[in-house]
Structure 1
Amino acid sequence: MEHNYKVKDATSFSIDLIVELVNNQYLSYFNINKDKTKDDYYCGITNNLDKRMEEHRCEDFEIVEDRVFAWNCENVDVATEVEKRLGKLGFDIGISRLWIKKNIYRVLLILCRPL
């Protein structure tokens, strides 16, 4: 199955800039549907986008239009701080991601809207 993923390299971006980019992506793409708010949009962290999205599809929720935006962060600390700040802005960040190991190679921050 072909998925509608957009992944951006944010490894050289500041935490503030990544938060701004995610929020702007929400405002420009997802905010068309005025009856939805930020808490209708899931934001999480993974080191394997395909695997995690498939887990969500099978175990948690389908994804609207299979549309997923992701930002490749420098490390898990950056991604965790971005996720925390997005939660404060009102996005659904789910439960704590403490299971993520500090030494993983690639960290992706994801944004999507569950059905």
Structure 2
Amino acid sequence: MQIARASNPGGTTAMWVRDRLDGLWCDEDFAGCYPRDGRPGISPAQLATVCVLQFLFGLSYRQAAEAVRCRIDFKYALAMELDDPGFHHTVLTDFRERLAQDDRADRLLDLSLARLKEA
């Protein structure tokens, strides 16, 4: 993470997201989205953060996945190691489809708003 700060001393929008919103979600908040017989390969809390970054930067799924793979500030925002290969863009599509089921997205938003009020 020192590399991200050294290369962007003033920070970036992606770095701001982590600095201000880190801990807003945890993987357990998404437990109902995944089967009980296994844990998802990619942290759902990280995927939620990618969705926020995707919205902020107006990125497609493919562009967001590429940014996670290539941009130091995105890796910082997701607390990923620099050599982390990221994920295929279809992972974001699958994640959003899971959130769209039932009222999962609304519950996640309510939880996020409650945590922001507490902070």
Calculate the TM-score normalised by the size of structure 1.
0.31
Calculate the TM-score normalised by the size of structure 2.
0.30
Higher RCO, Cα 8 Å, sep 6+: 1
Rg comparison, structure with higher value: 2
As a proportion of its length, which structure holds more helix? 2
